[in-house]
Amino acid sequence: MSLSVPASPAPAAEPVLRPASLVGRTRAGLSDALAEIGVSERERRMRVGQLWNWIYHYGVRDFSAMTTISKVLRAALAERFTLDLPEVTAEQVSSDGTRKWLLRMPPVGARDRGAEIECVYIPEVDRGTLCVSSQVGCTLSCTFCHTGTQRLVRNLTTEEIVAQLMVARDRLGDFPGRTPPEGAFVPNDGGRFVSNIVFMGMGEPLYNFDGVRDAIDVISDNEGLSLGRRRITVSTSGVVPQIEALGAEMGTMLAISLHAVRDDLRNELVPLNKKYPIRDLLEACRNYPGLSNAKRITFEYVMLKGVNDSDAEARELVRLLKGIPAKINLIPFNPWPGTRYECSDWDRIERFSEIVYRAGYASPVRTPRGRDILAACGQLKSETEKLSARARLMLEQSEAEAAALAG
């Protein structure tokens, strides 16, 4: 069962470029905004600190609430900028408390109609995990993943990535002086509603390296959203040349979507493996900066019936990971319309997990959450994709015609 909250009115047919929002910006981005309205360089540093505090600590939605900033400056800011969050076009609440938000980002250029992405909140007793997207769609076409079938792809901006956490905290009433929506299931140990972030929504984060790195800088900043880097996990399908830089520049936890123990099968499931085979991938993992028993790498392994779930494969998995401080996360396959795969039977998953466990690895089987609202791993895909694809096709056709005419 799922509950749908009424969606906002349909967006206008033509994108309208609204004043830019300051939400999601880095300190440098806020400083640029102040420069634009003529604040002197000398004053900017202090003003950035104030804006930062109001936006990220207090989550205010209106410049008039920024009482430490002069009225004149507040008015100048309000004339040129907004504090808007992306529009929540739909909110679904699963019977298990998982929440999925469909967000429409404001257009980033004259030709952009405003990306639509999904963002999922998974509350547990002792933590609240937000699963965020790094791209609209994904170029990598892993055969078991719904996102990979989406044709329209672009990187999300830093602001758009940060905005996902801002929307979640706004909707959950998780800012000073605010309260959660009635009946919401949130962690009940007194901690933060969003205590962890995983980059496991749409997209390959390492193909949007700068956008993700800057967003993590904003999210982990102690004077604002203050989410520690150890509570942020970046999941990659295995972009080997970027793994070291991920550790060095982002310092987050690393998750690797392994899913197979032989190159021939992994080539099929995760086509990027043809470029960066298992050996190279595991070598990059061994060299991951900061790797230790306290900072283990999570290896994700999706359980596909009759494809990768035999006892022999469980044993090979353990052998491959020898010497790498690791956790193994078995993910029951989440089906989506049109997929050719099925989820392994429960007793098969248990048997696989037992072999891994006996070899000394914690091997939690990730309980599928929010399946009833298609919010589980790999089920995310923007619902308006068809419309956007058609719009893009029209655009490409008109460009081709223009080029033909010009030629």
The region of 25-33, 118-126, 140-148, 326-334 touching ligand SF4 under the rule CB under 6 A is: 140-148
Cα separation, 139 vs 141, in Å, equals 6
Per-residue x/- track, 248-287, ligand SF4 (CB under 6 A): ---------x------------------------------
Least Å from the CB of residue 295 to ligand SAH = 18
Is there binding between residue 145 and ligand SAH (CB under 6 A)? yes
Cα separation, 366 vs 16, in Å, equals 42
Strand 135-136 and strand 154-155: pairing?
Answer: antiparallel
Nearer to ligand SF4, 145 or 215 (CB): 145
Alpha-carbon torsion (211, 297, 382, 10), positive or negative: negative
E strand intervals along 124-185: 128-131, 135-136, 154-155
Is there binding between residue 317 and ligand SAH (CB under 6 A)? no
At residue 4, φ and ψ (nearest 5 deg) are -105, 130
Q: What are 330's strand-pairing partners? A: 301, 365
Is there binding between residue 234 and ligand SF4 (CB under 6 A)? no
Contact residue for ligand SF4 among 142, 168, 212, 215 (CB under 6 A): 142
State which of positions 356-395 bind ligand SAH (CB under 6 A): 377-378
CA 78 centroid distance within chain: 30
Nearer to ligand SAH, 52 or 333 (CB): 333
Nearer to ligand SF4, 174 or 204 (CB): 204
In the residue annotation, 377 being an active-site residue is answered as yes
Helix H or strand E encompassing 329:
strand 326-332
Cα separation, 218 vs 166, in Å, equals 11
Contact residue for ligand SF4 among 114, 148, 224, 370 (CB under 6 A): 148
Nearer to ligand SAH, 24 or 137 (CB): 137
Least Å from the CB of residue 363 to ligand SAH = 15
Residues whose CB is less than 8 angstroms from the CB of residue 261 and which lie 6 or more positions away in sequence, other chains included: 278, 308, 313, 316, 317, 320
Is there binding between residue 285 and ligand SAH (CB under 6 A)? no
Q: Which of 91, 116, 118, 313 is catalytic?
A: 118
Please write down the HEC assignment for all residues of 46-74.
HHHHHHHHHHHHCCCCCHHHCCCCCHHHH
Query: In terms of Cα–Cα distance, which of 71, 73, 105 is closest to 88?
Result: 105
E strand intervals along 106-209: 116-123, 128-131, 135-136, 154-155, 196-199
The region of 98-106, 234-242, 246-254, 278-286 touching ligand SAH under the rule CB under 6 A is: 234-242
Is there binding between residue 318 and ligand SAH (CB under 6 A)? no
Q: Which of 131, 138, 343, 377 is catalytic?
A: 377
**What amino acid positions are annotated as catalytic residues?**
118, 377
Contact residues for ligand SAH (CB under 6 A)? 138, 144-146, 200, 204, 235-237, 257, 300, 302, 331, 333-334, 377-378
Contact residues for ligand SF4 (CB under 6 A)? 138, 140-142, 145, 147-148, 203-204, 237, 257
